[in-house]
Amino acid sequence: MGTRQYVIRKIVQAVITLVAILVFNFFLFRVWSPGDPVTFLTRGQGAQISLEERAELISEYGLDKPVFGQFVEYMEDTATGKLGASSFYQGEAVTSIFWRFLPPTLLLVGISTAISMVVGIWMGIRSGWRRGSSFDRFSMFFSLILYSMPEFWLGMLLLLLFSTALGWFPVGGRVSTSVSSMGTLEYITDVAEHLFLPVLTLALGYLGEFYLLMRSSLLDVLGEDYITTARAKGLLERNVLNRHAVRNALLPTVTLIALSFGYVIGGAITVEVVFSYQGLGLLTYTAIVSKDYWLLQGLFLFFSVAVIGFNLVSDLVYAYLDPRVREA
Amino acid sequence: MQTPPLHVGAEPPFGPTLEDEEPSPPPGSPRQITWARRRAAVRRFWVAFRNDNMGVAGLTILVFFICVTIYAVFADKTGLSITEATGPRLTPPSLEYPFGTDDQGRSVLTLTLHGSKISLLVGLSATVITMVIGSAVGLIAGFRGGWLDQLLMRITDWGLVIPWLMLAISLASIFGQSLFMIILVIGLTTWPSTARLVRSQTLSVKERPYVERARALGASNWHLVTRHVLPNVMPVIMANTVLIVAIAILSETALSFLGLGDPLSKSWGSILERASNGGAATQGAWWWLGAPGLCIVLVVLAFTMIGFALDQIINPRLRER
pTM passes above 0.90: no
Residue type, B173: S
Average pLDDT, chain B: 79
* C-alpha B90: how far from chain center: 35
Q: Are B143 and B151 in contact (CB under 8 A)?
A: no
**B300 Cβ contact list (under 8 Å, min separation 6):** A147, A148, A149, B246, B249, B250
Residue B78 touches partner A, C-beta closer than 8 Å: no
Cβ-count burial of A282 within 10 angstroms (0-12 exposed, 13-18 middle, 19+ buried)?
A: buried
Q: Is there a contact between B165 and A265 if contact means CB atoms under 8 Å apart?
A: yes
Res. B301: pLDDT tops 80: yes
**Rg, Å, chain A Cα set:** 24
Residue type, A67: V
Best mutation site among A18, A28, A153, A256 for testing chain B: the one with the most B CBs within 10 Å?
A: A153
Round to whole Å and give the CA distance between B214 and B236.
Answer: 22
Interface of A with B in 207-226 (CB under 8 A): 219, 223
Round to whole Å and give the CA distance between B223 and B136.
Answer: 15
Round to whole Å and give the CA distance between A209 and A143.
Answer: 8
Res. B1: pLDDT tops 50: no
Q: Are A83 and A294 in contact (CB under 8 A)?
A: yes
- Please state the rounded mean pLDDT for residues B144-170: 84
Q: Is there a contact between B161 and A17 if contact means CB atoms under 8 Å apart?
A: yes
Compute the nearest-CA separation of A200 from chain B (Å): 17
Q: Are A10 and A315 in contact (CB under 8 A)?
A: yes
The confidence score (pLDDT) of residue A189 equals: 78
Round to whole Å and give the CA distance between B248 and A261.
Answer: 19
The confidence score (pLDDT) of residue A47 equals: 52
Q: Is there a contact between B253 and A163 if contact means CB atoms under 8 Å apart?
A: no
- Please state the rounded mean pLDDT for residues B133-161: 87
B9: left (phi over 0), alpha (psi -120 to 50) or beta: left
**B93 Cβ contact list (under 8 Å, min separation 6):** B99, B100, B287
Round to whole Å and give the CA distance between A7 and B200.
Answer: 25
Q: Is there a contact between A148 and B297 if contact means CB atoms under 8 Å apart?
A: yes
Compute the nearest-CA separation of B31 from chain A (Å): 41
Round to whole Å and give the CA distance between A190 and A248.
Answer: 41
Round to whole Å and give the CA distance between B256 and B272.
Answer: 8
Residue type, A304: S
Q: Are A209 and A151 in contact (CB under 8 A)?
A: no
- Work out the pLDDT band at A49, boundaries 50, 70, 90: low
- Out of A33, A156, A285, closest to residue B281 by CB: A156
What is the predicted ipTM?
0.83
Residues of chain A neighbouring B286 (CB-CB closer than 8 A): 160
Half-sphere exposure of A264 (CA within 13 A, CB side): 34
Q: What is the dihedral of CA B273, B275, B277, B282, to 10 degrees?
A: -140
Q: Is there a contact between B282 and A131 if contact means CB atoms under 8 Å apart?
A: no
Best mutation site among B52, B112, B153, B162 for testing chain A: the one with the most A CBs within 10 Å?
A: B162
Round to whole Å and give the CA distance between B269 and B255.
Answer: 8
- Find the residue in B nearest to A43 (Cα): B174
The confidence score (pLDDT) of residue B130 equals: 92
- Out of B161, B170, B293, closest to residue A296 by CB: B170
Compute the nearest-CA separation of B166 from chain A (Å): 6
- Work out the pLDDT band at B299, boundaries 50, 70, 90: very high
Q: Which of A117-126, B68-77, B130-139, B225-234 has the lowest mean pLDDT?
A: B68-77
Residue type, A48: Q
- DSSP for B228-280 reads IIHHHHHHHHHHHHHHHHHHHHHHHHHHHHTT-S-TTS--HHHHHHHHHHTTT
A 10 A CB-CB count for B96 gives 11
The confidence score (pLDDT) of residue B316 equals: 62
Q: Are B116 and B69 in contact (CB under 8 A)?
A: yes
- Out of A144, A156, A269, closest to residue B276 by CB: A156
**B24 Cβ contact list (under 8 Å, min separation 6):** B16
The confidence score (pLDDT) of residue B163 equals: 79
Average pLDDT, chain A: 80
Residues of chain A neighbouring B293 (CB-CB closer than 8 A): 149-150, 153, 156-157
Residues of chain A neighbouring B305 (CB-CB closer than 8 A): 144
Q: Is there a contact between B281 and A289 if contact means CB atoms under 8 Å apart?
A: no
Q: How many residues does chain A have?
A: 328
Domains defined along chain B, listed by start: 46-72+106-318 (1.10.3720.10)
- Work out the pLDDT band at B260, boundaries 50, 70, 90: confident
The confidence score (pLDDT) of residue B76 equals: 59
Res. B128: pLDDT tops 90: yes
